[in-house]
C-alpha cells in the first residue's frame, strides 16, 4: 500500500516580514498568508483533495491555520449559512469554514520548527484548544516539554543531532498514520503534512535549492509530494523520496540528485545554515 505524503510549508506569518518580528511569540498568518492558503487550495486541485485521508500539522498556530484554510473541505452554501447562524447564536466568530470530513487535524509536536526563537516556540495546549476547539487533535502534543527548546535535556533543543533524530521520529509517526488507512482495496493513501521551512530539510534530507543567505529552499505555501523509499515499511529510517511528478513540477528537466549526493550535500549545507537556523553548537 503506497503512501503519498504531501509536505507543505506554512503560509506567510508576521514573523516572515522582518528579523525584528522573529521576536513575536507564535505569530499568526498575515492577510497575504491567508490569500496564499486560498491559492494553495486551488493549486492542489479537487482531484487530489478528494484523495486525502488525513491532515497533520505542527502545533504552531501558523501551521494549523494553513492546514485548515488550505485543505479543510469547503462547505456547501446551505451548510455554510447554517454554520454561521450557529456560530452567531453561540457568540463565535466564523473565521474558518468547518467540515467534519477531515477533522480533527492531528497536531504533532515533533513537526515544530527548528529554532528556539519566540516565533518558533509554540503556545500551551490550553490556548490552542481554546482557539481551535474540536478542529485539532492535540493528543500528539506534550504540554510538559514541547515549548522547552532551550534546556539541554529537551528533545526539542535545536542541535543538528536532535533535529536529525526528531525528523526520523516524525517520519516513523507519519508512516504509522499511513498504515492506519491501508487495507484491502486501498491503492494509495494520501496524507497532507503542514510544517516549517527549516524543519522540512531535516524531514526530507533534501538540501537542494536553498538560496544564499536563506534558511530554507521552500516558499511559503509550497507543497511537494513524497513516498517512503521502502514500500514494505521496514526501513528503520523511514526515508522519504520526492515523487517524480513532484520533482518535475518544480524542477523541470533538471537532473535529480542521487540519495548519496543528497547526503553529501546535506553535511556541507547544514554547516553553512547553522547561524541562519540558529542551531546550537557545543
CATH for 3-277 is 3.40.50.1240
C-alpha cell at 94: 466564523
Question: How far apart are the C-alpha atoms of 61 and 67, rounded to whole Å?
Answer: 10
pTM: 0.90
How do the pLDDT tens digits run along the chain, 282 residues long?
689 999 999 999 999 999 999 999 999 999 999 999 999 999 998 888 889 999 999 999 999 999 999 998 655 545 545 545 554 555 544 443 434 578 999 999 999 999 999 999 999 999 999 999 999 999 999 998 999 999 999 999 999 999 999 999 999 999 999 999 876 667 789 999 999 999 999 999 999 899 988 999 999 999 999 999 998 889 999 999 999 999 999 999 999 988 888 888 888 888 888 998 889 887
- Is residue 191 within 8 Å of 48, Cβ to Cβ? no
Strand partners, 189: 3
Domain spans of the chain, in order of start: 3-277
Edge-to-edge strand list for the sheet holding 105-108: 136-140, 105-108, 52-57, 189-195, 3-9, 223-228, 240-242
User: For the chain, first and last CA: distance in Å?
Assistant: 42
Amino acid at each position: 500500500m503506497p503512501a503519498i505524503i504531501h509536505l507543505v510549508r506554512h503560509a506567510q506569518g508576521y514573523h516572515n516580514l522582518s528579523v525584528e518580528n522573529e521576536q513575536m511569540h507564535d505569530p499568526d498568518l498575515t492577510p497575504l498568508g491567508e490569500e496564499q492558503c486560498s491559492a494553495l487550495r486551488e493549486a492542489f486541485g479537487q482531484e487530489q483533495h478528494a484523495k486525502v485521508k488525513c491532515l497533520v500539522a505542527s502545533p504552531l498556530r501558523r501551521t494549523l491555520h494553513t492546514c485548515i484554510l488550505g485543505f479543510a473541505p469547503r462547505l456547501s452554501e446551505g451548510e455554510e449559512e447554517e454554520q454561521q447562524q450557529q456560530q452567531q447564536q453561540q457568540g463565535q466568530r466564523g473565521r474558518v469554514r468547518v467540515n467534519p470530513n477531515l477533522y480533527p487535524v492531528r497536531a504533532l509536536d515533533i513537526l515544530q520548527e527548528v529554532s528556539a526563537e519566540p516565533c518558533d516556540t509554540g503556545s500551551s495546549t490550553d490556548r490552542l484548544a481554546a482557539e481551535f476547539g474540536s478542529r485539532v487533535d492535540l493528543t500528539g502534543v506534550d504540554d510538559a516539554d514541547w515549548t522547552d527548546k532551550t534546556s539541554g535535556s529537551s528533545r526539542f533543543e535545536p542541535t543538528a543531532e536532535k533535529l536529525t533524530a526528531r525528523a526520523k521520529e516524525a517520519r516513523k509517526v507519519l508512516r504509522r498514520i499511513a498504515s492506519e488507512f491501508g487495507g484491502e482495496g486501498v491503492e494509495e493513501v494520501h496524507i497532507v503534512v503542514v510544517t516549517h521551512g527549516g524543519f522540512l530539510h531535516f524531514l526530507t534530507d533534501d538540501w537542494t535549492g536553498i538560496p544564499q543567505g536563506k534558511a530554507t529552499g521552500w516558499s511559503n505555501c509550497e507543497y511537494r509530494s513524497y513516498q517512503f523509499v521502502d514500500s514494505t515499511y521496514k526501513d528503520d529510517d523511514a526515508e522519504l523520496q520526492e515523487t517524480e511528478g513532484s520533482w518535475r513540477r518544480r524542477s523541470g528537466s533538471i537532473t535529480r540528485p542521487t540519495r548519496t549526493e543528497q547526503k553529501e550535500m546535506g553535511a556541507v549545507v547544514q554547516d553553512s545554515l547553522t547561524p541562519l537556523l540558529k542551531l546550537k553548537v557545543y
